[in-house]
Chains A and B, each alone.
Chain A
Amino acid sequence: MATESSQHEGHPEVGHVVPVRILLVTGMGLLALTLLTVWAASFDVGNLNIWIALGIAVVKGTLVVMFFMHLRYDRPFHGIVFVTSLAFVALFISFALTDTTEYAGNLDPGDAPKVVEKLNVLGE
């Protein structure tokens, strides 16, 4: 480490300065995408709506992470950490969702008359 820092004559350069221009462009992009997603939601395309909205959100999220959060200029390992966390969430969602939709058909309908009926049977 000692050799590394002495190269910079006591001015160790840390981090990456993202120019204001890039930040502004990113911000404008985000605002435009917000408008786009609100506009897109006004069309009813059934199940597709949610995927469109999520797709736009992913693009927006990527912009935030890449430029606001400097990930584009950062160590790749930080990106790996972040993506891993997303992957685990995806894993969690997909397994849990697969399971709940699988067994949903087996659920006892919980409507009141049936419960009362059952109770009556019990009471006899």
Chain B
Amino acid sequence: MTTTASTTHDHPDFLAHHWDTPKQQFEAGKLGMWLFLATEVLLFGGLFVGYAVWRGNHPELFKFGSQYLDTTMGAINTVVLILSSLTMAWAVTCAQRGNRKGLIIGLLLTLAGAGGFLGIKYVEYSHKFNEGWFPGAYFYDKPSDRSRTWDDNLPVPGAGQLVVPVPDTEARSIEELGLPADILVEISTVVPPGQGPSGLEELALTDTVHTDDHAEHEMHALQREDRPANAHMFFNIYFMMTGLHGLHVLGGVGVMIWLLIGAVKGRFNEKYFTPVDLGGLYWHIVDLIWIFLFPLFYLI
């Protein structure tokens, strides 16, 4: 009943042998894509958990850090991404109507949007790096910048060693620190975590963090030493979330180019446009994630 019935009626090229009808195949692709999007949501979900936890415990760090993000740039990027989503949706409609020219133009515009987004992100990132806002251990002075005993082979503290953070002292060795010599010690430039939920309470008391408009340009002149302890945590999560998102945009560019080639070759028509539709879904989810990232980082 499954096999015999289907062989009789027409079986277009794009229909794989185990499907009976194009509709069945299309619906399967759609469901598969939605399931894949669910996995994407959960993949990013992990990072949102990280965001919630760190922000919950260190709200002041987020206030502090987000001042260094350029809201205008972020807003422009949001607009760019929304527009590219719009052109993508339009491209899908064109594909469904068999309008090849429209499809190609739509894909090209979407690609342009993706490129624009990445370009702006590049400018933003390099700006951050120039100002010394790096993710992770690089947030703090590189080992070579200072005369600290930082073992280059151990970018993170080594096994069996205790970590002694030495934020504001010139002492750079175990002897200078007056520590017992028979304990293995790794001297770290990284400041230890803050205290509990409200984090760096001392810091919260100083004017610098409770920012008012006039404090803002003062902040830009901050020297590394003046950054609040653990300020890197905001930039960690910022770089990771936007970075993973950026990778997805890059993936989207790949998908667009592939669709574009297909469209130019005339692979799609009103009967067969599944790849365009699915590529579109993927692109919209990338947009959707940015819609949440933007306020969470830039507007706080």
A residues at B contact (CB < 8 Å): 1-2, 4-6, 10-15, 17-20, 23-24, 26-27, 30-31, 34, 37-38, 41, 49-50, 53-54, 56-57, 60-61, 64-65, 67-69, 74-75, 77-78, 81-82, 84-86, 88-89, 92-93, 96-97, 100-101, 104-105, 107, 109-112, 115-116, 119-120, 122-123
Interface size on B, as a range, is 35 or more
Nearest A residue to B211 via CB reads: A44
Please judge, given known A-B contacts A69-B284, A82-B34, A100-B57, whether A115 and B197 are in contact too, CB under 8 Å.
no
Name B40-70 residues within 8 Å CB distance of A: 41-42, 45-46, 48-49, 52-53, 56-57
- The CA of A17 and the CA of B280, in the complex, are separated in Å by 13
Which among B125-133, B141-149, B161-169, B259-267 touches the partner chain? Answer: B161-169
Contacts of B79 in A (CB 8 A): 31, 34
Report which of A6, A27, A101, A109 forms a contact with B195, defined as CB distance below 8 A. A109
Nearest A residue to B229 via CB reads: A111
Nearest B residue to A14 via CB reads: B26
- The CA of A81 and the CA of B37, in the complex, are separated in Å by 9
Contacts of A77 in B (CB 8 A): 31
Contact B10 A10 (CB under 8 A): yes
Please judge, given known A-B contacts A12-B271, A50-B300, A100-B56, whether A41 and B295 are in contact too, CB under 8 Å.
yes
Contact A68 B85 (CB under 8 A): yes
B287 part of interface (Cβ distance < 8 Å):
yes
**Max chain A Cβ within 10 angstroms of own Cβ: one of B26, B89, B166, B182:** B89
Please judge, given known A-B contacts A23-B93, A50-B300, A123-B183, whether A2 and B9 are in contact too, CB under 8 Å.
yes
- The CA of A112 and the CA of B6, in the complex, are separated in Å by 74
Name B230-273 residues within 8 Å CB distance of A: 271, 273
Pairs A-B, 7 closest by C-beta atoms: A123-B180, A110-B192, A89-B45, A53-B295, A85-B38, A27-B86, A41-B299
B residues at A contact (CB < 8 Å): 5-6, 9-10, 20-24, 26-27, 30-31, 34-35, 37-39, 41-42, 45-46, 48-49, 52-53, 56-57, 71, 75, 78-79, 82-83, 85-86, 88-90, 92-93, 96-97, 162, 164-167, 177-180, 182-183, 185, 191-197, 271, 273, 277, 280-281, 284-285, 287-288, 291-292, 294-296, 299-300
Nearest A residue to B177 via CB reads: A116
- The CA of A78 and the CA of B94, in the complex, are separated in Å by 23
Contact A93 B89 (CB under 8 A): no
Contacts of A41 in B (CB 8 A): 71, 295, 299-300
Contact A123 B179 (CB under 8 A): yes
Contact B52 A96 (CB under 8 A): yes
In the complex, 5 of the A-B residue pairs with CB atoms within 8 angstroms, ordered by the A residue number, are A57-B294, A81-B37, A82-B38, A88-B45, A112-B192
Contact A49 B86 (CB under 8 A): no
Q: How distant is A75 from chain B, measured CB to nearest CB, in Å?
A: 7
Contact B93 A20 (CB under 8 A): yes
Contact A97 B52 (CB under 8 A): yes
Report which of A64, A78, A104 forms a contact with B197, defined as CB distance below 8 A. A104
Contact B86 A68 (CB under 8 A): yes
Contact A38 B38 (CB under 8 A): no
Nearest B residue to A47 via CB reads: B59
Contacts of B166 in A (CB 8 A): 112
